[in-house]
Structure 1
């Protein structure tokens, strides 16, 4: 609903607008490029649907007037739309474009005989793509496309790949890790490494220009908005200790990964970059203090490129998604409540799967097992990838 403000109220710089009008909220998670990209799609929407913009405006009005936390069922109940399904489809068109573009890149990998055609099925039916992108409406599929594109370009020219990584980072800043890894692996001198980092940061920096002009402080904050919000949370005792333990372990893990990427000497720099990037992002989604389900999409393109076999890929991503869901997706609005547009009254009242299980056995047992298994699965993959990086002669991967 916020990108619609670009047209309905002429809001050009969203960060300052949110800071001024909603100082206590956590709305500035999204980068300026995300705001402008989705606002751009409003133009053709005006031609296709005369209800979309008004619907967004009414949703926004309900948001600012509400007195408590609202969920999908509340928005559907208070904001009526006779063309709901058409407008929901329009809202997801950017995701569909990114998804189809990703398939085109995969076909290029298939054409070069790096991947086999069966991989397309693994992508099409990936639980994380279906759930996070089309059911939950998260836009992580867009930076995932640019990451996939970047790795395709990296096979020919690291500098064009760095531009693609920079665009991905302008949508979600986790791709800054990949820029650093490419620079460490491909840069022959310190000067060249710094040059590569600079090139990769250009798209990210350009996307921040509107914020820099309005309020430089907000542009600095936008680098790590969720980390900023977390640091402001009044925690004490074990939750506070746990947060810092996560950060310390994550920091050490990433340092080791970057160090290995920098010292490993191999003719196949592309494979080294892919391996180090996969390990780094898996560490992030496993060890960061705050991780949500759709972050699994960050690693998804790299999992496909590294594992390569469709069956292995699908088994891994399905197990990873199910284990993550066991402790991340516990509320109605992220389970059957996602179907409330079909029947709001019915689906919003359904008990969650964890509530049903809890009637038989304490669900905490299942969520704890799921959490530990999720960590074990991810760290097992990291171990295999790291061993492969360091001792390629002892592990022969079938192509």
Structure 2
């Protein structure tokens, strides 16, 4: 199984009116400035319907399975402040105002977290506008297209960059990169894949914020249990181990589906995946489908053929990947078709699934 890497929301750089230009250097990694003149989340998992599956007690054992589950809880860690507060009467940007639009979710948490520190250090006011993921681009693009200047900055997604640069809605920050007033960071420290998403046409437009690596997670306590290893080998004819192919992933999911995996007496599932339309289900399908679509005969084309603009979603690789996904869905709770990323994480961390990829 080869899981692909995908760049996700990154911060865009753009331009302000002159009276706000200096403040943009302090914002640096946090904010992106617009060309247009500036005007002024976790629920508990849903209840699941258990699907028919093997008994939760293995032959020869009187113990419920998966009793070693640990549930992670939020701690009290408070991030340190790195910029001192300005002295009254000498704040460099007193009376100024910055509005930033962000996705309503975990990607945006760093901005409200730094709001107090930013305001104390600059004397400016920071307003954070949070919108649903699927509405974020429409809100931001409408603002720059119409020159309304409602937003001064945005945390945005990597695939927006071409459209924003082509429309001349944002500017490169190359001339600020080495300026002593611009926060120091080394773009070369970003891994090559996501680093390529920060520039366009040889110019730097984006600042690193969040880069995703699509990863498979598994319950090590279950896969290393001798009882499960013996029963799995008897059923499938090979040793239970960390899956390295989608076929093995499917077998492990099938084996554990319907068993009590966290010792609460309720049947659990082989896997849990976020598949809610309009959120992160697209990324999960990309992870699954990439090795089916990209290969020696087609090393680059995933979405469409740029010569004909023909979509490739009905190509053999995408079709086969969708067939695999439909098969896998049988080994998870029906509710995961409506799950966002947070709910899939909660479900796995509660010990209710043997596998997930996210």
In the superposition, the TM-score normalised over structure 2's length comes to: 0.26
User: Which structure has more helix as a fraction of its residues?
Assistant: 1
Higher relative contact order (CA 8 A, sep 6+): 2
Q: Which has the higher strand share?
A: 2
TM-score by length of 1: 0.24
